[in-house]
Chains A and B, each alone.
Chain A
Amino acid sequence: MANMSEPPVSLEDLLKLKRHERPQGEFWDSFERDFQRRRLRALMEGGEPRLMSAGFWWRLVKWSPITAGAVAVLAVFVSPISLSVMDPDFEDNALVAGMDVMPPVAATALSEGGAQRTVEAQPSPERGTPYVASLSTPLQSRFIRDELATQEEPRNFRRVLSSASLSVPAAVGSRYVADPLTTGRMEATSVVMRPRSHF
């Protein structure tokens, strides 16, 4: 096929062609959106509990398969792990996190001038978003839409965060993400949400 006057093509040359298989610009826009969403979820979930770590399970299985099975069953029923879910009812770029809040409803702590008190749930006049709050972070001063949404049962709170809330300065790996927010309806100056345990 080749004649002597043709320059040789090396394997390395061929493999270098793979460098030209690159996605276009719009791919990276979508990549960025998805990544921000996933990171927000990671932030809200915080660090993995030790109970659920792979190392723990491995040691447990080695130790006793029966005990491991029993603990696994317990974990499924007891652990409140499924905190973050995507909800198609909300806008595409929003992450919805929530789980049924155990009575008393408001496990959110509310601070006014440093004092903490418990927020009582306000019955919602209609299904939707009775509490809409604007949230700005002290460092970036970025404006973020933040909603507390109730369903039929006022006790079932969900929180909707726009992806911009990634600018909330939360310590990486921390279990809780503290989001100071202001809401006139609840006559509060700031509320600290604790996603994993109190959401």
Chain B
Amino acid sequence: MMMAVSGSIERDASAELASEPIREADVDAVYVERVQSGDVAAFDFLVSKYRERLFSIVYNLTSNREDAADLTQESFIKAFRSIKRFQGKSSFFTWLYRIAVNTSLSHLKRNRYRRFFSLENINDEASSSEIVEALSVKTRTEKGAMISELQERLNDALQKLSPKHRTVVVLFEIEGLSHQEISEIMGCSVGTVRSRLHYAKQQLQAYLQDYLK
């Protein structure tokens, strides 16, 4: 069985489901309008909907669960404070993700000499995944130990990338966003996103080659 799944195949499949995000955006727009007209509680819906995705982005950028919680909240507060100025030129989630990414990048810049990592546990679902099974057989290591080691190596590899390259990898490979969405979030061209992704993946291939051979 071929285990490698191409990111582009997934992206093609998600393109076929393009109507789904549109409906989601419409739902968001309704709630955004309600918040803009003073319904504070409507913001709770948006927080519940996006908090895990936003946390995941910030967490994978910072590799620190406490910082990630703090920065995710800060991002929501920033969004809440400035939602009146949101005009709907982009989708709400793009706007929200942009706030979270900028907040995280500023944090990383401020604390570039003071970094502490605190990682979440990888959940049980991952332990039974085919990749973990295969790697465990390949490295002749017990699964639990292999997962911990792999988690550390993945984290090290991501942290060796510059924050902007890391952001592109996180948004594309981990969060599954499209090049176009990432370009809107990061305020750069699609070409820049592609080239950053290409460079970042080359770097990661080199750092993680032991697992990829």
Report yes or no: B81 in contact with A47, Cβ–Cβ below 8 A: yes
The stretch of B2-10, B12-20, B89-97, B187-195 that contacts the partner chain: B2-10
Q: Cα distance A2–B170 when bound, in Å? A: 28
Binding site for A on B (CB under 8 A): 1-7, 35-36, 38-41, 43, 47, 51-52, 55-56, 59-60, 65, 69, 72-74, 76-77, 80-84, 119-123, 125-126, 129, 131-132, 134-135, 137-139, 150-151, 154, 169, 173-174, 201, 204-205, 208, 210-213
Partner of B40, one of A7, A9, A166: A166
Q: Cα distance A16–B5 when bound, in Å? A: 10
The answer to the question of A77 belonging to the interface, with a C-beta cut-off of 8 Å to chain B, is no
Report yes or no: A11 in contact with B204, Cβ–Cβ below 8 A: yes
The answer to the question of A66 belonging to the interface, with a C-beta cut-off of 8 Å to chain B, is no
The answer to the question of A86 belonging to the interface, with a C-beta cut-off of 8 Å to chain B, is no
- Per-position 1/0 for A3-20, Cβ under 8 A of B: 000111111111111111
Which 5 pairs from chain A and chain B are nearest by CB? A20-B126, A10-B4, A21-B120, A171-B38, A15-B173
- Tier of interface size on chain A: 35 or more
The answer to the question of A69 belonging to the interface, with a C-beta cut-off of 8 Å to chain B, is no
Report yes or no: B41 in contact with A28, Cβ–Cβ below 8 A: no
Residues of A within 8 A of B154 (CB): 14-15, 17-18
| Given A23-B55, A171-B38: A11 and B123 interface contact (C-beta under 8 Å) | no
Nearest residue, chain B, Cβ from A43: B40
Given contacts A2-B213, A14-B154, A21-B59, 14 further A-B contacts (CB under 8 A): A7-B134, A10-B4, A11-B204, A11-B205, A13-B5, A20-B123, A21-B151, A22-B56, A22-B120, A34-B69, A38-B74, A42-B77, A47-B81, A170-B40
Scoring B60, B119, B174, B208 by chain A CB atoms within 10 A of each residue's CB, the highest score goes to B174
Nearest residue, chain B, Cβ from A169: B38
Partner of A31, one of B3, B51, B119, B151: B51
The answer to the question of A143 belonging to the interface, with a C-beta cut-off of 8 Å to chain B, is no
Nearest residue, chain A, Cβ from B10: A12
